[in-house]
Structures are given as C-alpha cells and as structure tokens.
C-alpha cells in the first residue's frame, strides 16, 4: 500500500514539474515571433541607416490587424523595413507584413512618428504621416549606401546617403510635392483664398515640413 502511495506521489510530482516547466516556457516565449535578419549588415558604414540609431519603444499593427505594443523597434531606411528586438536582445524581422507602426521618440509617451504602408501601390513601402484627414501629408526618406575611395588609400568608405521626398495623398491619388508656395497653391487651389489667409495669419514658412503639416491640418477643417 505504501509503495502505491509513494508511486502516486512521485507521478504527481513529475506531472507538476512538467506543468510548471511548460508554464515557464509559455510565459517567457517571445509573443511577437520573428525570423532572422537577412541582407545588409552595415559593417564599417559612415552614417546611420536607421531612423533612430538607438532602439525605441513603439507599437506595431500587422497586415492581419494583429497588434503588438511596447516593442523595441528600429526602422531601417536603407531596406525600408521594420525590425524589432526580441526578449533575448536579438534583432529580428516580423514574420507577417507590417501595415503600420508608431515609434515614440522618448519613452512611450510624448512625441512620436507614425508610418503606414497604405499609400504605396504594393502595400510594402512605408511613408511617414505628417498630417492626416481627408488629405494626408507624407514623407519618404530613402537611404542608399555609396562607396567612396579615399585618395592615396586602398580603403573604401561606405557612406549612408539620404534623400527625402514629400507627397500629398488626396482623393485617392498620391502626388509628389516640393515644399514651396507654388506647389501648395496648386494642391489646395479649391480653397486657395482660405489657405492663403491662414498662411499669412500664422506667418508660416512654406519650405518647412512642420508648417506644411499645419496647412494640411487646417485645410482638412474646411
């Protein structure tokens, strides 16, 4: 009888141990899930290929509308892709396509930057949203790696070279714009008098992306 009791207790203890182990694995497993990084390693490059060099806290929405919050993120502006840091501190790519993401500049509150794929034809390229509503003001920074041969040296320096474009998304159409008065008058010609008066009242600089964003935000209220 005692032997049976001992065996039952031992079996229960083993089962309990396995259950605890399973729970620990389930709790500690990375909830996001990712795959190894491929492509450029960015060794010995001059300049940063990322939007922010350091990891920043952010929120991510995948193409299937799955949401992840408080994830450590970096936006690669060379590859035009979002990467995250898993629970082991390893950089990974998302398993599913990313639809949109927000990165907080300082912690998880305050200033933030928002990106979305909804404006690209293939739903893969990211645009930063500077102003939103019936009309959107968008920004696209593309970085490329360019090799530079130093005079008198066999060493090649790899430079990160950025280029910036701006777009207005209006009436389902994406139009590239230059930040100047002529282009603004063309884009908002249907409300030109109101927009012109607003610019004068606020003394806005039409070569500044923030002021352009203010104009778009105002236009969306008309």
Residue 17 has which token pair? 């141990």
Q: Which helix (H) or strand (E) element contains residue 209?
A: helix 209-219
pLDDT in tens, 144-184: 999 888 777 778 889 999 999 999 999 999 999 999 999 99
**pLDDT for res 31:** 63
Q: Is the pLDDT of residue 97 over 60?
A: yes
pLDDT average, residue stretch 116-129: 88
Which class for 176: exposed (0-12), middle (13-18), buried (19 or more C-beta within 10 A)? Answer: exposed
**pLDDT for res 121:** 77
Of 213 and 12, the structure prediction assigns the larger pLDDT to 213
Q: Which helix (H) or strand (E) element contains residue 19?
A: helix 2-28
pLDDT in tens, 21-63: 333 333 333 567 788 888 777 888 999 999 999 999 999 999 9
Which class for 94: exposed (0-12), middle (13-18), buried (19 or more C-beta within 10 A)? Answer: buried
d(CA 155, CA 167) in angstroms, rounded, equals 39
Assessment of whether the complete model's pTM goes beyond 0.85: no
């Amino acid at each position: 009888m005692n032997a049976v009791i001992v065996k039952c207790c031992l079996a229960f203890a083993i089962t309990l141990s396995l259950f605890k182990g399973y729970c620990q694995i389930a709790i500690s497993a990375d909830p996001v899930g990712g795959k190894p990084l491929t492509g450029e390693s960015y060794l010995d490059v001059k300049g940063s290929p990322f939007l922010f060099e350091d990891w920043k806290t952010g929120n991510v929405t995948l193409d299937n509308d799955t949401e992840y919050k408080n994830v450590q993120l970096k936006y690669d502006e060379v590859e035009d892709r979002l990467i995250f840091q898993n629970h082991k501190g390893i950089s990974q790519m998302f398993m599913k396509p990313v639809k949109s993401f927000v990165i907080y500049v300082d912690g998880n509150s305050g200033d933030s930057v928002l990106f979305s794929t909804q404006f690209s034809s293939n739903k893969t390229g990211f645009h930063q949203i500077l102003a939103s509503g019936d009309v959107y003001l968008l920004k696209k920074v593309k970085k490329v790696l360019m090799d530079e041969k130093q005079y008198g040296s066999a060493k090649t320096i790899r430079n990160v070279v950025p280029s910036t474009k701006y777009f207005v998304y209006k009436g389902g159409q994406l139009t590239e714009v230059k930040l100047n008065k002529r282009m603004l008058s063309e884009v908002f010609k249907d409300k030109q008098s109101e927009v012109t008066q607003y610019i004068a009242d606020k003394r806005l600089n039409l070569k500044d992306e923030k002021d352009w964003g203010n104009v778009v935000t105002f236009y969306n209220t008309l």
